[in-house]
Structure 1
């Protein structure tokens, strides 16, 4: 006796069942569009990160392969004063710039929501850092902070607040404050 062909069903694999369920899902198209970007991010982020971690455990130099030395590089790093100075500068820069941007941005937002004359003009001035390209901002702050022809030093001298020019970028303390001020101006709104 022959078995009817409708009763014989091909056995589906686990992969085909998962694929059929996934294709019936509402989110399949979205995941399909995200997959190439996620793959590129995975390749271009994890490979350099993994290579950096591996090189941290070797004595590799440019042009020659490295030999595995364990945590010797990290022991040197933890005992290096320049490393700790850079950590301090990074934390100081990040924390102070973030707090100043938040506080100044909130203050300007509250101020510009008041009924002030020339409110549109002041809003345009506040948004100016976002309109000006970064290169032009860098050139402007270079003129503002120049050691010989600083516009800021000249203005402070004209007002009688200082006696001699300030070297804004030559002194480490002045340089920190100057760079933070430029960053805060660039990121206020």
Structure 2
């Protein structure tokens, strides 16, 4: 039998997590892009090896998708967007948690909250990247062996269209950013 526990984070609660993220970003500013990615990947791998509660495991896909988006050469993430994603991943470079992970079930509550806040903050970026991946896979399947012929051309037009749509949504304020970039 499972139960559902819901809670609401007030502005004061969110401020606490913003402070944690700000500290993580400041600490990670001395790391290279590759170090941030390596540490975030290591944190994901460590969480996968743990007996994660479902509420954390369900969020791991999105966190891994952000990492993949930064590393995907064909997505060609612009530097400003890459910097935002890396800043969002900075928390996962920190060895110190609010609640130590070794505490069964509860040890990952802070991680789940932070992952959820990062996902909310980066939702347009995630949606755009997942749309691009879906298009790429569909085209690879449709084109078969010819998928590599003029590949950059057919990827570029869709990539540009997806990014343009994402930026319009961002400018129109269709989402509220949690970590203070847009409020």
- Please, what TM-score do these two structures have when normalized by structure 2? 0.23
Rg (Cα) greater in structure = 1
TM-score, with structure 1 as normaliser: 0.22
